[in-house]
């Protein structure tokens, strides 16, 4: 029998652990329930902290969005247990556990740069700026897998307009939290920390760009970017910065983290494009998380509404 070492298996080819996790979670749940019955302690008091938080943090008054796809959604379990979050780990199954005690309150977001209303906002005040809406978006990871998630938030443009950028503001830069004590992945040199991402102003103002603070009708789990992240469904997943602490408006194009790390592999725009391959693999097809067969990758991930943003650009050069 031929046994392949794990390092030789691409992450996009690894079968999700759904069956194994289902069995393990069932057994763990049975044990906890049994302990609760014997001791008289409520089941919720023995559950993992992140599950208790999710149960207590429904987002009320959320409206359905016209931008939502009608595609079948991935389960909450899929999305909260398979995460690209290098601040915690490069392994996609580890952030859920490593982030369970991550503290998201108090949390402040600095808004500065080329903007008339420089300020430091409490994240909860920022979240209340506009009515929340649910948007079911499809996502495409650069490594070849995709998901469909009902996110909760509001258009990033709502925040930008209230900040009143100056005419010099051409780009928006997002900086995520740097806290190696809480984020073990930042104790490694896998990337230059803190994580930085950026958008051209017209991209940030597009209605599809979402400032996100929840999913599946609940607050964001820690491992999915709590308490605040952006969602850009027409771009590869790494562009959607998580756990944001600073939003800066700039005249020059930001140098985002992956450009610093591997500029020949990850460009500034990073639009989903089946015609531009990653140097080490094809981007022509993708595999939906939880499915076996691959499907064709769609240009701009199927969000043709953004095509006009890149009219006249060489998308092989501006990848």
Burial status of residue 93 (CB atoms within 10 A of its CB: 0-12, 13-18, 19 or more) = middle
Give the per-residue pLDDT at 177. Answer: 98
Q: Which residues touch 84 (CB under 8 Å, ≥6 apart)?
A: 92, 141, 237, 238
Residues 230 and 244 sit within 8 Å (Cβ to Cβ):
yes
Give the per-residue pLDDT at 57. Answer: 75
- The rounded mean pLDDT for the chain is 87
Burial status of residue 211 (CB atoms within 10 A of its CB: 0-12, 13-18, 19 or more) = buried
Give the per-residue pLDDT at 259. Answer: 95
Residues 87 and 176 sit within 8 Å (Cβ to Cβ):
yes
Query: Tens of pLDDT along 167-208?
Result: 999 999 999 999 999 999 999 999 999 999 999 999 999 999
Give the per-residue pLDDT at 317. Answer: 96
Give the per-residue pLDDT at 40. Answer: 33
* Helix/strand/coil for 147: strand
Other Cβ atoms closer than 10 A to 279: 7
DSSP 43: H
Domains and CATH numbers, the chain: 17-47 (no CATH), 60-310 (3.90.420.10)
Residues 280 and 265 sit within 8 Å (Cβ to Cβ):
yes
Beta-bridge partner residues of 140: 146
Name the stretches of the chain with pLDDT < 50.
1-56
Give the per-residue pLDDT at 122. Answer: 98
DSSP 275: T
């Amino acid at each position: 029998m031929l046994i392949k070492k794990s390092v030789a298996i691409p992450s996009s080819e690894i079968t999700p652990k759904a069956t194994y996790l289902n069995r393990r979670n069932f057994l763990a749940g049975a044990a906890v329930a049994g302990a609760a019955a014997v001791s008289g302690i409520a089941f919720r008091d023995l559950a993992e902290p992140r599950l208790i938080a999710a149960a207590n943090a429904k987002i009320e008054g959320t409206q359905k969005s016209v931008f939502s796809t009608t595609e079948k959604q991935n389960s909450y379990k899929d999305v909260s247990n398979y995460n690209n979050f290098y601040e915690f780990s490069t392994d996609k199954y580890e952030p859920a556990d490593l982030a369970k005690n991550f503290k998201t309150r108090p949390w402040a977001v600095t808004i500065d740069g080329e903007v008339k209303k420089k300020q430091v906002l409490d994240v909860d005040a920022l979240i209340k700026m506009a009515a929340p809406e649910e948007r079911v978006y499809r996502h495409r990871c650069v490594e070849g897998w995709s998901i469909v998630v009902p996110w909760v938030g509001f258009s990033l443009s709502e925040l930008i307009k209230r900040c009143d950028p100056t005419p010099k503001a051409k780009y928006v830069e997002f900086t995520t939290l740097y806290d190696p004590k809480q984020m073990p992945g930042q104790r490694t040199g896998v990337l230059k920390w803190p994580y930085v991402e950026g958008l051209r102003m017209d991209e940030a103002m597009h209605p599809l760009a979402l400032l996100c603070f929840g999913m599946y009708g609940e607050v964001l789990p820690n491992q999915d970017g709590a308490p605040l992240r952006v969602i850009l469904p027409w771009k590869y997943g790494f562009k959607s910065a998580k756990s944001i602490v600073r939003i800066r408006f700039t005249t020059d194009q930001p140098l985002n983290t992956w450009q610093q790390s591997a500029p020949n592999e990850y460009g500034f725009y990073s639009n989903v494009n089946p015609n531009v391959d990653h140097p080490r693999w094809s981007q022509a097809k993708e595999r939906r998380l939880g499915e076996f067969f691959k499907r064709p990758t769609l240009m701009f991930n199927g969000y043709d509404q953004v095509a006009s943003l890149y009219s006249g650009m060489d998308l092989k050069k501006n990848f």
